[in-house]
Amino acid sequence: MEEATDILYWDDSLALGVAEIDDDHRKLIGLLNELAINITAHQAREALAVVLENLLNYTAWHFRHEERLMQTYRFSGYVAHKREHADLIREASAFQKKFLDGEQDMTMDVVHLLKEWVLHHVMQTDRQMAEFLAEHM
Ligand SMILES: [Fe+2]
């Protein structure tokens, strides 16, 4: 039986010092953990589909939030950052479609991949953005 070992706990090492972004990230991690909990509890496909939809909707909203901030304050890394967001949305949407079509199962591998992506993106790409925003907002 799979266990929720990939649960990502919020701690200050993830904080980037821009409160509205840190708040979003806290919520995003919460939704990712909700997915992990539902998978390990062997919830039905329909329930997993709802949790996944919530996670992806919130992720898309959060990416637009960051992109608005980067544009407003004319951050030079905007285009490259936005591309990382678009790549993740494209991959996650492709997975979602396969899952809804019954071609792919939802496993903790999915949570693991998302967790690794989030950690890498937050600690590198978002950190650069946040350092700029903290000085210019
Ligand atoms: Fe980002």
Give the CATH number, domain containing residue 131.
1.20.120.50
Those residues of the chain that have pLDDT short of 70 are 1-6
The per-residue pLDDT for 4 is 58
Would residue 5 count as lying in a domain?
Answer: no
Residue 129 lies in a domain: yes
Q: Could you list which residues have their CB under 5 Å from ion ligand 1?
A: 66, 126
Q: How far is the CA of 1 from the centre of ligand 1 (A)?
A: 33
The answer to whether residue 7 is domain-embedded is no
Residue found by looking up tokens 């701690």 in the block = 11
pLDDT of residue 73: 98
Burial of 66 (0-12, 13-18, 19+ CB in 10 A): buried
CA of 131 to the centre of ligand 1 (A): 13
Instruction: Give pTM, 2 decimals.
Output: 0.94
Residue 36 alpha carbon to ligand 1 centre in Å: 22
* Residue 3 within any structural domain of the chain: no
Question: What is the torsion angle, in degrees rounded to the nearest 10, for the CA atoms of residue 18, residue 90, residue 84 and residue 135?
Answer: -20
Domain that holds residue 35: 12-136
Judging by beta carbons within 10 Å of its beta carbon (0-12, 13-18, 19+), is residue 94 exposed, middle or buried?
exposed
CA of 102 to the centre of ligand 1 (A): 30
Give φ, ψ of 126 to 5 degrees.
-65, -35
> In the chain, how many domains are there?
1
Q: Three-state DSSP class for 134?
A: helix
Q: Using the mean position of ligand 1's atoms as its centre, give its distance from the Cα of residue 81 in Å.
A: 6
Q: What share of the chain is helix, strand, coil (3-state, %, to 5)?
A: 75, 0, 25
How many angstroms separate the alpha carbon of residue 78 from the centre of ligand 1? 10
